[in-house]
Amino acid sequence: MRASKDISMRNRLNKASGRNDAWFAAASIAAIAGLGLCSEAKAQDVSANVALTSDYVFRGVSQTQEDPAISAGVDLTRNGFYAGGWASNVDFGDDTHAEVDLYAGYRPEVAGYALDFGVIGYLYAGQPDGADYDYVELKAAASRAVGQTPFGLATLGTAVYYSPDFFGASEDEATYAEINGAVSPADKWTVSGAVGRQWVSSDLDYTTWNLGAAYQLTDTLAVDLRYHDTDQHDFGDIYGARAVATLKASF
């Protein structure tokens, strides 16, 4: 009886910890928004977004079992420094129901390059006991406007993300590297794409790519149609090719 009580207590503590993570993340997002609203130049320092998508795809992999998702985020910026939070529903085939990301960093501009050095924490509400989905990544990115091309104004970029203890209980190290680009062929239109490689120490490596176009419907509302795919369809349906439509409002 003592053993079953101990297990029951641990289960309750683990579930409470998951709820506390979600509450902490929500409180952090609220605090970020509050700090921004209290700033004197809030119109320049604070931005927010809300999006509805036909499938939440992260690095080529569906996070919602190919079902729709709704997300929202808020960002505070000042003198190149930034902090923010973002949340979306997810579906991993268990009780996990929400992802909340908290991030902060610094974006300087050096010799015409826009740089980005940051840290991102991924928190998951409702995750099963022992799943250990929560993880942290370090980010380093750079982009540069390359000017006018035959297809319009273009920008090229690259990014690297590193986690010492990646998603899941296996305590994998993971690195993701990406090359991306965007071009504006006409007013209100942006065509963009990326190719990336995810390395995981447990040999769950794969390559992913996406290509799509966005149209600015209004000053705050945009629609994006995008194709995603990976080279590891054998990992499961969520790694398969898919077309995704997203409607996003930014304020």
Phi, psi for residue 36 in degrees, rounded to 5: -65, -45
What local confidence, expressed as pLDDT, does residue 148 receive?
78
Predicted confidence (pLDDT) at residue 170 exceeds the cutoff of 80: no
- The pLDDT value given to residue 17: 42
Res 117: pLDDT: 98
**Residue 26: what pLDDT?**
52
Looking at the predicted structure, is the pLDDT value of residue 202 above 60?
yes
d(CA 96, CA 93): 8
Least confident of 43-57, 87-101, 173-187: 43-57
Tens of pLDDT along 106-124? Answer: 999 999 999 999 999 999 9
Find the mean pLDDT for residues 16-42. 49
Per-residue pLDDT, 168: 82
Q: Would you state the pLDDT for residue 36?
A: 47
Domains, the chain, with CATH or none = 2-250 (2.40.160.40)
Residue 234: pLDDT over 70:
yes
User: Are the CB atoms for 39 and 78 separated by under 8 Å?
Assistant: yes
- Confidence label for 44 from pLDDT (cuts 50, 70 and 90): low
pLDDT number for residue 157: 98
CA distance 118 to 75: 13
Q: What is the pLDDT of residue 114?
A: 97
Instruction: Name the residue among 114, 111, 133, 113 with its Cα closest to residue 122.
Output: 133
Per-residue b or e along 174-193, where b marks 16 or more CB atoms closer than 10 Å to that residue's CB: bbbebebbbbbeeeeebbbb
Neighbouring-strand partners of residue 82: 77, 105
- pLDDT digits over 56-89, tens only? 999 999 999 999 999 999 999 999 999 999 999 9
Higher-confidence residue of 193 and 26: namely 193
Task: State mean pLDDT over 186-194.
Answer: 96
User: Which of 63-72, 142-151, 159-168 has the weakest average pLDDT?
Assistant: 142-151
Confidence of residue 172 (pLDDT cuts 50, 70, 90): confident
